[in-house]
Structure 1
Amino acid sequence: MRVRRVITTRQGGASGAPYESFNLGDHVGDDPAAVRANRGRLAEGIGLTPDRLVWMEQVHGRTVGVVKGPVADPVEATDALVTTEPGLALVALVADCVPVLLGDAEAGVIAAVHAGRVGARVGVIPATLAAMREQGAEPSRIEALLGPSVCGECYEVPAAMQADVEKHLPGSACKTRSGTPGLDLRAGLWQQLADAGVGRIGLDPRCTVEEQTLFSHRRQAPTGRLAAVVWMEQ
């Protein structure tokens, strides 16, 4: 199997302000027709039909859904999807949270994860790795990509929150650009993946707050959502 990954930007879609223009979130107040057009354009762009994209009703938890084929509606109340089905694209939507795309090409197992502060704290990544192992994946063969998100220099939090997240996600505590307590979720998730024995870990260094071509809820709300997509080709 060949594992493919794509992360969208906010450019090239049908949505108007403040969602301009390639918004893929259907829960942020955008025109539903524009979102449908954008989702169709995404499917076409990766060589699939729209029904082969699987979406999630993301709730900042650690529930993992295993899908065997197309589903008509977003998978309810879940923040990670796993599949062994070629040509089925799993989608995580973000606008500051960390999208994590995982794949074991030899076993033919992939996963897409939405890891915000709460989900990362409660263990959505360990839960996803466990579900992938149940489908035949081996951590040493898994390749992971941590997508663009708010960076630690831009993510200021109260000191008590920082300490709590650091307790559950070691390596995430940092200082912001102004020297206040902050969180670098990608650093904590990278460490968590490494500690779990994941073989290769890549990181997209872009900060959603700083990079104007990406959606950021912290920079501008309301706003759209970018998509992190993973699928397999035979």
Structure 2
Amino acid sequence: MFWWEGQGPQGIRVAFTDTAAGNLALHVGDDSAAVCGRRSALEQRMGVEPGSLRFMEQVHSADVALVDGKPAPGEVPVADALVSADGSTPLAVMVADCLPVLFAGTGPDGIATAAAHAGRRGLLDGILANTAAALRYAGADGIQAWIGPGVCGNCYEVPGEMVSGAAHLPGAASETSWGTPALDLPAAARNQLQSLGIAVQMIPGCTMEEPELFSHRRDAPTGRFAGIIWQARQHP
């Protein structure tokens, strides 16, 4: 179910699912009951309260939403990053080539956390910088980030003008393994986060190359896997 799982500060858990967890998105033509069942199974695996894992309607924006507690029925923020100011709300970001980026930092109410969807458009428009700013506004310090699997710089072929349009992102320009223009989103995200004073851990895995990860470019239409961050339950 998990491609990778790790630990952050003060009991925070971070993970990225794989195809064994199934498609977790409701917008790709899958059966909604089956998707909800997979989300419930994921929550059970995480050990969080049923219905507490927060998703968002991702639109390739640079918008950040602050969430707190379980959602009301039908409540899905339209945003490309979610922030929990005290880390108590489990957060999810769904991807299938774009980057899932998870954040944790020490805040006045515990650990502030975030989950961001960083594709080409979002990176260009500042979704990661906006997420970091929202965490710091919540009082977070010592922020660290985990950049999950996405399409790599050897596989993400784009027109040359898209490479030129990303010139303000250090490390973004790349070349495919077959010699055409490309973008290296993981490198661009890492460089941007480090320039903001954020410690970064890169999680290996190219979605185009790994069959255990969903890839829209390789298999469209396809499902979505998730990056998730949550507070581990304290046992007496």
TM-score by length of 1: 0.91
Partner of 1:54: helix, strand, or coil? coil
The residue aligned with 2:178 is 178
- The reply on whether 1:134 has 2:150 as its aligned counterpart is no
1:83 aligned onto 2:84: yes
d(CA) in 2 for partners of 1:133 and 1:85?
A: 12
Q: State the shift of 1:142 in Å.
A: 1.1
2:15 aligned partner: 6
Instruction: Name stretches of at least 5 consecutive residues in structure 1 with no aligned partner.
Output: 13-21
Match of 2:99 in 1: 98
User: Paired residue for 2:111?
Assistant: 108
8 Å Cα contact 1:153/1:182 also seen in 2: yes
User: In the aligned structure 2, how far is the partner of 1:74 from the partner of 1:207?
Assistant: 32
Structure 1 counterpart of 2:212: 213
Query: Whole-Å Cα distance in 1 between the matches of residues 149 and 90 of structure 2?
Result: 19
The one-letter code of the counterpart of 1:190 is R
Compared CA separation, residues 208 and 182, structure 1 to 2 (3 A)? same
- Matching residue of 2:60: 60
Q: Which amino acid aligns with 1:189?
A: A
8 A Cα contact 2:87 2:231, kept in partner: yes
Q: Distance in 1 between matches of 2:59 and 2:132?
A: 19
> Alpha-carbon deviations, 1:142-190, whole Å to 9, x = none?
11100000011110111111110232x2211111101111001110010
CA distance in 1 between partners of 2:167 and 2:147 (Å): 18
Deviations 1:21-45 (A, max 9, x none): x110010000111101100000000
> For 1:163, what is the secondary structure of its paired residue?
helix
CA distance in 1: counterparts of 2:79 and 2:144, whole angstroms = 22
SS of residue paired to 1:50? coil
Deviation at 1:81, TM superposition (A): 0.5
Runs of 5+ in structure 2 lacking a partner?
1-9
CA distance in 1, matches of 2:81, 2:43: 20
Q: Where does 1:5-84 land on structure 2 (aligned, <5 Å)?
A: 5-12=14-21, 22-72=22-72, 73-84=74-85
- The sequence identity of aligned pairs, in percent, is 45
How big is the shift at 1:74? 4.9
Say if 1:98 and 1:185, in contact at 8 Å, map to a contact too. Answer: yes
CA distance in 2, matches of 1:51, 1:136: 27
Deviates more, 1:67-76 or 1:182-191: 67-76
Tell me, yes or no, if the aligned pair for 1:52 and 1:87 is still in contact at 8 Å. Answer: no
Give how far 1:85 is off. Answer: 3.7
Instruction: Determine the C-alpha separation between the residues in 2 that align with 1:111 and 1:86.
Output: 8
Residue 108 of structure 1: SS of its match in structure 2?
Answer: strand
Q: Deviation at 1:68?
A: 1.8
